[in-house]
A and B are shown apart, each in its own frame.
Chain A
């Protein structure tokens, strides 16, 4: 757009202000490596159960296989998602979302905003929902989902989840073609902050990561998760599910998981996520049923 357009950090601050004004808790990123904001326990676990929940946060997301050594202008193994979760979803969620776009400078009369079918499914979380990818001039800028199930459990009530791709939106708003040219603030570029990270982490993900340790780590996280489930500490168990999921992603980037094995690994991660969700529900059901008469799992 123009020089007056928002910097990367201003955009985040505007979104924080917007969603804060609409009653969301503004949380901080979860301190673990994960593939998407959906993995944040403030999404996955909080989407379960009857109690209302509104939160917004930035979540650094790691997709090892998407790394391009910093050489691709819009593919990277690390990026930021802006995640909003509203339970139950308000009736005007689409309108709220469009207002939030306006708040960061997207004019829907000049740019073509579209809701294009995209049914979301996370095999590793045992979760699915219906919704759209939101297009801005043909670019997917947000994933908009009405959660139907998480960890294999019905969402009662349904939560609305908005996942903004911050770099894509910023590239669009600032009118730059290369992510590394984004203005992080008025003096520092995104590339100055992250280009070297992309180079090194791409190399690590694809070439250096020790696969034996990864396999070992996966097995340990799996075992630890089970122990935590048995100990009825579902939040701790879920941390291990997140860990296992990321290690699996790294193993995939290293190209050491065959097509047949892949399904089996996904199943193992899903079992951890489902087990954690089940333990979370079990631990909270009595309280939920008391506070919301008539509610059952």
Chain B
């Protein structure tokens, strides 16, 4: 090694720059991680001790600097353990074959053979010269390509875009290597336009400064910081507030080597287009930031140029302004076109869109959602609330299509009338909730689904409650998203998700493992969030019966499956109540039952996952579920929460211990419930007395949904059961006493089961 200025103790810096044609911005962060990972792996495999690494990226280069790299690797002595001295000859022969050594070369220690291999130290430059091509060839780009004359073979080098240069310097020395037709060298390129020529790099030490002098800020984090700060500054200089957008900061930093945020204006007339549309088109199509003034979207944008133009960027801003104007003209064209039809007219087009081959068109789905939304209101599951009254006050047409105008004065309306209004509004909103899918605007910007429907609904004068429901019915989309609470929205959102769940389960398209193509888990979590937030009292079995019956009513292909399952139909009273065509009823029973059972199991599973994140123990959910018949989420969770609080107390812990002891005895012994001991011992009598009191109290409390009360009743059993186990011998010599005491323990277990199946509780 002839490095002239090695660092302290024979350490030096290594610089690697992989230059290519523009790397997609979205891939740069991953590429930095991959470069670091691959480099560490290669150095570790070669025994090169690594200190700190710096990794940078620009659109045209990926850079790695290894600080404190040794100039040579240490000699390594590796020991491989072989057979014992007295082992059969085949074992020794095998070991010699494996190591390529003779018996004399082996070392003996503690009666065991060892093979010692000495790896001499290697020059780091040599290791690097091998590693660089290997890293380049193994680089895991999400998409890569071939290029140039070499691509006459498909075996030619692949890279994200053509690889154009490699700088590899250990200290000041070139690490000579070659990959494809690219050879390493000292030369790189500066900014594409500000400094089109080559630059010669001396070492890692001058790399960053030399590039900066040639209008390249090589550190991506520095560019991000510049964009963040200057974009804000140019907005503030114009009296505006930048709408911060970290994704745009990173993307623009990935598109520039010399970022220059510039503020431009667009015609104020475009502000008639919904602000979300303007922001989205500015962001996704043009990568511009938007600005606000007094909390409202302003007619200004911030673009990030890659050059410092001599006119201060005036020409660039003018060009960008024109492009944005064209985009906004298109958006306004869509906005105007779409409003030429009513949402109801747009909705006709839904018959042409397949929702799922087995579940019909989106129009079919909408029909089901509408029925289900109405049903949710008519069954009293979704009720009017003050918020709906408020909306009614604001909007004189709150009663929606068909209802007489007199119903508009919601405050003066009877509850049943209000319920009917709510049902009509829910059905109306449901029928229109997917109509925007066939609008031009949503065709162009699919992420605006729902939102545009809301705008169009308001524009045509539909009640606010309906417009809000159309806008928000996809919510909640994920954890942390707003959960609807307005009654009409709740009915539509819930109906939409329940129909999706019921539909896909009915046609046997259930999530498996990591595959959940129809986002049913998300739908389930959405249902939980709505039910919990709004404290809706519903029985999932009934709800799914209705949802599946609605599906069945449409005579979709799932009919065959339902009928197939329905052979030897069983009688389920609740199906009889459903609004279902007679011809269909017979084939349904078992299918409904089966689908509902699968659905409830799926929901229970998702509930456990969701509640675990909220700190609720899954075994406690199991303990309540195990009692059977609980399909009311609000009640279930109230019970689980009370149980969790109780189990955390010393009464709870001890009662659980007593329960487990009793259950263990009962598991082993034969007994008949109902036996009694005419001459009970003191502790035995005390337990009987406690049970006489606690069991009915707990049952009554559960009935009244006073789960804390039920727990308190159980707590009163703790002392008596402990005393019983301390003082009384269950396995008495007298068979009558023994039978009576076993029966008593059984009574105790039954009493506890008023609240939960404690055998499911862990610990």
Tell me if B193 counts as interface (CB < 8 A to partner A): yes
Contact of A137 with B326 in the complex, beta carbons under 8 Å: no
Contact B311 A110 (CB under 8 A): yes
Would you call A137 and B22 a contact (CB within 8 A)? no
B150 and A157 contact, CB distance less than 8 A = yes
Stretch from B112-120, B139-147, B377-385, B502-510 that touches the partner: B139-147
Q: Are B152 and A146 within 8 A (Cβ)?
A: no
How many chain B residues touch A (Cβ–Cβ < 8 Å)? 52
In angstroms, Cα B152 to Cα A294, docked, is 10
Interface flag for A265 (CB, 8 Å): no
Tell me, yes or no, whether A53 is within 8 Å of chain B by CB: no
- For residues 276 through 319 of chain B, which have their beta carbon under 8 Å from a beta carbon of chain A? 286, 288, 303, 305-307, 309-311, 315-316, 318-319
Q: Does A158 contact B (CB under 8 A)?
A: yes
Residue among B24, B26, B288, B319 with most chain A CB within 10 A: B319
Residue numbers in A under 8 Å from B147 (CB-CB): 88-89, 146, 158, 160
* Contact partners of A117 in chain B: CB under 8 A: 22, 24-26
B572 at interface (Cβ–Cβ under 8 A)?
no
Q: At the interface with chain B, which of A12-20, A70-78, A203-211?
A: A70-78
B70 within 8 A of A: no
The digit string for A42-55, where 1 denotes a CB below 8 A from any CB of B, is 00000000100000
Name 19 extra pairs, CB < 8 A, besides A88-B149, A112-B305, A138-B320.
Answer: A68-B333, A72-B333, A88-B147, A90-B148, A109-B193, A109-B307, A111-B309, A111-B316, A114-B306, A115-B21, A117-B25, A137-B315, A138-B286, A138-B319, A139-B322, A156-B153, A158-B146, A258-B353, A259-B353
Q: By the criterion CB–CB under 8 Å, are A146 and B306 in contact?
A: no
Specify which of A91, A137, A157, A158 is in contact with B323 (CB 8 Å cutoff): A137
B148 contact set on A, CB distance < 8 A: 88-91, 157-158
> Could you tell me the distance in whole angstroms from the C-beta of A250 to the nearest C-beta in chain B?
18
Structural contact, B306 and A50, CB atoms closer than 8 A: no
Which single residue of chain B is at the shortest CB-CB distance from A140? B323
B102 at the interface (CB under 8 A from A): no
Give Cα distance in the complex from A131 to B354, angstroms.
34
Q: How many Å lie between the Cα of A68 and that of B329 in the bound state?
A: 12
Residues of A within 8 A of B160 (CB): 130
Would you call B154 an interface residue if the criterion is a C-beta within 8 Å of the partner chain's C-beta atoms?
A: yes
Q: Are A72 and B315 in contact (CB under 8 A)?
A: no
Residue numbers in A under 8 Å from B343 (CB-CB): none
A130 touches B305 (CB 8 A): no
Known interface pairs A75-B330, A117-B24, A139-B323; A110-B310 also in contact (CB < 8 Å): yes
A38 at the B interface (CB under 8 A): no
- Chain A residues positioned under 8 Å from B608 (CB to CB): none
Interface residues of A in 131-152 (CB under 8 A from B): 131-132, 136-139, 146, 148
Q: Which residues of A contact B307 (CB under 8 A)?
A: 108-109, 112
Chain B nearest Cβ from A277, distance in angstroms: 17
A216 lies within 8 A of chain B by Cβ? no
Closest to B438 in A: A259
Binary CB contact string for chain B from 18 to 31 against chain A (1 if under 8 A, 0 otherwise): 00011011100000
A169: shortest Cβ distance to chain B, in Å? 12
CB 8 Å contact bits of B176-206 with A (1 = contact, 0 = none): 0000000000000000111000000000000
A188 contacts the other chain (Cβ, under 8 Å)? Answer: no
Question: Does A138 lie within 8 Å of B324, measured CB to CB?
Answer: yes
Q: Is A113 an interface residue (CB 8 A)?
A: yes
Hey, which chain B residues are within 8 Å of A139, CB to CB?
319-320, 322-323
Return A259 CB to nearest CB of chain B, in Å: 5
In the docked arrangement, what's the CA distance between A108 and B324, Å?
A: 20
Q: Which residue of A lies closest to B333 (CB)?
A: A72
Q: Does B590 contact A (CB under 8 A)?
A: no
Q: Are A109 and B145 in contact (CB under 8 A)?
A: no
- B609-639 to A contact mask, C-beta < 8 Å, 1/0: 0000000000000000000000000000000
CB–CB B145/A130 < 8 A: yes
B329 A73 Cβ-Cβ under 8 A: yes
Chain B 331-370 interface residues, beta-carbon cutoff 8 Å to A: 333, 352-354
Given A109-B310, A157-B151, are A148 and B194 also a contact pair (CB < 8 Å)?
no
Report yes or no: A109 in contact with B194, Cβ–Cβ below 8 A.
Answer: yes
For B352, what are the chain A residues with a Cβ–Cβ distance below 8 Å? 258-259
Check: B6 CB closer than 8 A to any chain A CB. Answer: no
Binary flags per residue of B142-180, CB closer than 8 Å to A gives 1, else 0: 011111111111100000111010000000000000000
Interface residues of B in 245-280 (CB under 8 A from A): 255-256
Minimum Cβ distance to chain B for residue A64 (Å):
16
A18-46 Cβ-contact flags toward B at 8 Å (1 or 0): 00000000000000000000000000000
Q: Could you tell me the distance in whole angstroms from the C-beta of A271 to the nearest C-beta in chain B?
A: 22
User: Given the complex, which residues of B lie within 8 Å of A156, measured CB to CB?
Assistant: 151-154
Q: Nearest 10 A-B pairs (CB), nearest first?
A: A137-B319, A117-B24, A115-B22, A138-B320, A158-B151, A157-B151, A112-B305, A157-B152, A130-B145, A138-B323
The answer on a CB contact under 8 Å between A157 and B149 is: yes
Chain A's nearest CB lies how many Å from the CB of B263?
13
Q: Does A194 contact B (CB under 8 A)?
A: no
CB B180 to nearest CB in A, in angstroms, measures 11
Residue in contact with B152 in the complex, picked from A98, A110, A292, CB distance below 8 Å: A292
Query: Are B315 and A110 within 8 A (Cβ)?
Result: yes
Inter-chain contact B152/A88, CB cutoff 8 Å: yes
Q: How far is the CA of A177 from the CA of B354 in the complex (A)?
A: 41
The residue among A130, A156, A177 with the most chain B CB atoms within 10 A of its own CB is A130
- Report how far A89 CA is from B25 CA in the complex, Å: 23
**Structural contact, A113 and B193, CB atoms closer than 8 A:** yes
A200 interfacial contact with B, CB 8 Å? no
Q: Is the CB of A112 within 8 A of B316?
A: yes
Q: Which A-chain residue is minimally distant from B351 (CB atoms)?
A: A258
B59 contacts chain A at the CB level, 8 A cutoff: yes
Q: Are B22 and A132 in contact (CB under 8 A)?
A: yes
CB-based nearest B residue for A160: B147
Task: Please measure, in the bound complex, the distance between the C-alpha atom of A139 and the C-alpha atom of B325, giving whole angstroms.
Answer: 11
CB distance from A79 to the nearest CB of B (A): 14
In this complex, what residue of A is CB-closest to B60? A115
Complex Cα distance, B161 from A129, in Å, reads 11
Per the 8 Å Cβ criterion, residues 230-285 of A in contact with B are 258-260
Residues of A within 8 A of B310 (CB): 109-110
Q: Is A116 in contact with B323, judged by CB distance below 8 angstroms? A: no
User: Are B315 and A111 in touch, CB under 8 angstroms?
Assistant: yes
Q: Give the residue name and chain of the B residue nearest to A68 (CB).
A: B333
Which A residues touch B353, using CB under 8 A?
Answer: 258-259
Tell me which residues across on chain A come within 8 A of B22, comparing CB atoms: 115-117, 132
Chain A positions within 8 Å of B25 at CB level: 117
A10 within 8 A of partner (CB): no
Contact of B309 among A88, A109, A119, A259 (CB under 8 A): A109
A110 touches B153 (CB 8 A): no
Measured CB to CB, the nearest residue on chain A to B144 is A130
Q: A110-B309, A130-B145 are in contact. Are A177 and B151 (CB under 8 A)?
A: no
User: What distance in Å separates the Cβ of B515 from its nearest Cβ neighbour in chain A?
Assistant: 22
A138 to B266, CA, bound (A): 14
Residues of chain A with a CB closer than 8 A to B330's CB: 72, 75
User: Can you list 11 A-B pairs, Cβ within 8 angstroms, ordered by A?
Assistant: A112-B307, A114-B306, A130-B145, A138-B324, A146-B162, A148-B145, A148-B146, A156-B151, A160-B147, A177-B322, A294-B153
CB distance from B151 to the nearest CB of A (A): 4
> Are B143's CB and A130's CB within 8 A?
yes
**Shortest Cβ distance from residue A170 to the other chain B in the assembled complex, whole angstroms:** 13
A104 to B153, CA, bound (A): 36
Q: Which residues of A contact B145 (CB under 8 A)?
A: 129-130, 146, 148, 158
Closest to B181 in A: A91
**Residues on B with beta carbons closer than 8 Å to the beta carbon of A114:** 255-256, 306
Nearest neighbor of A112 in chain B, beta-carbon distance:
B305
- Which partner residue on chain A sits nearest B21 by CB separation? A94
**B residues near A108, Cβ cutoff 8 Å:** 192-193, 307
Give A83-113 interface residues, CB cut-off 8 Å to B.
88-91, 94, 98, 108-113
Determine the distance from Cα of A94 to Cα of B192 in the docked complex, in whole angstroms. Answer: 10
Residue from the list B143, B150, B305, B322 in contact with A119, Cβ < 8 A: B143
Our pick among B59, B154, B316 for the contact of A154 (Cβ within 8 Å) is B154
